[in-house]
Amino acid sequence: MAAHGATATQHKEPLSNGMLGFILFIASEVMFFGGLFAAYFIARADSAQWPPNDVLEAMKAAGTSGPNTELKLEVALPLIATCILVLSSFTVQWAVMQIAKGNRTGLIWGLFISIALGVTFLTMQMYDYSQLPFSSGDTVWATAFYTLTGFHGAHVGGGIIFMTVCLVRAMGGQFSAQHHEAVEAASFYWHFVDVVWIALFTTLYIVG
């Protein structure tokens, strides 16, 4: 035992109370998106066509939808945005690995790049929104699209704020190889946001 004494004092609990609580919080977030995804799939299963162009025609005839509305998505820009978001998951993980080795400069750059990539993703999403030929009221398909991607976007925003707080703290020298739990929590959250987007992209753009 004595030989291991020095390492034993540095031994970290595999999961602190804070991290356990944070993972439980992410579990509740998973259930939130689970509810929205379930709604999407139920609406899809109950529709004769998907996207529901038949409903759109009826709405156009009733005047509740504009004549130029189309239920159509462009894949190219969101595909690039997807690559950017996936890349940011790697950069934030790189940042965690750097601070685990005690490299504060690496942490700062890793966080900075991840934040920049996140902001780029959000900017592209907003541009994409501005170009889409339908609005949130044009059938359940459009409502589900804006709700799912909009809430995901809000979570990207939350992740950016979380990482920015970590960045400011990192520049203040608050993190070290032993103490960088907030950065790890931010990375968990960011990976979660990333995974949700991959599921969303697959559902909305590939499966359709």
Decide: is 83 part of the binding site for other proteins (CB under 8 A): no
Please provide the DSSP assignment of 148-208 as one string. HHHHHHHHHHHHHHHHHHHHHHHHTT---SS--HHHHHHHHHHHHHHHHHHHHHIIIIII-
- Rounded to a whole number of angstroms, the minimum distance from the CB of residue 23 to other proteins is 9
- Smallest gap, in angstroms, from Cβ of residue 166 to other proteins? 19
The distance of closest approach from Cβ of residue 19 to other proteins in the complex, given in angstroms and rounded to an integer, is 10
Q: What is the CA radius of gyration of the chain?
A: 21
- Which amino acid makes up residue 174? Q
Pick the binder of other proteins from 55, 85, 160, 193 (CB under 8 A). Answer: 55
Is residue 47 within the footprint of other proteins (CB under 8 A)? Answer: yes
Distance of CA 180 to the CA centre of its chain: 22
CB of 113 to other proteins, least distance (A): 31
The answer to whether 138 touches 59, Cβ cutoff 8 Å, is yes
* Contact window for other proteins (CB under 8 A) among 27-35, 78-86, 124-132, 163-171: 27-35
Q: How far is the CB of 171 from other proteins (least distance, A)?
A: 25
Burial of 84 (0-12, 13-18, 19+ CB in 10 A): middle
Q: Which two tokens stand for residue 114?
A: 């991840």
**For other proteins, the closer CB: 47 or 203:** 47
102 binds other proteins (CB under 8 A): no
> Which stretch in 51-59, 72-80, 106-114, 190-198 sits in contact with other proteins by CB under 8 A?
51-59
- Among the residue ranges 52-60, 88-96, 179-187, 189-197, the one whose residues contact other proteins (CB under 8 A): 52-60
Site string for other proteins, 112-151 (x = CB under 8 A): -----------------------xxxxxxxxxx--x---x
Per-residue buried b or exposed e for 163-202, using 16+ beta carbons within 10 Å of the residue's own CB: bbebbebbeeeebeeeebebbbbbbbbbbbbbebbeebbe
Interface residues toward other proteins, by CB under 8 A: 17-18, 20-21, 24-25, 27-36, 38-39, 42-43, 46-47, 52, 55, 59, 62, 64, 135-144, 147, 151
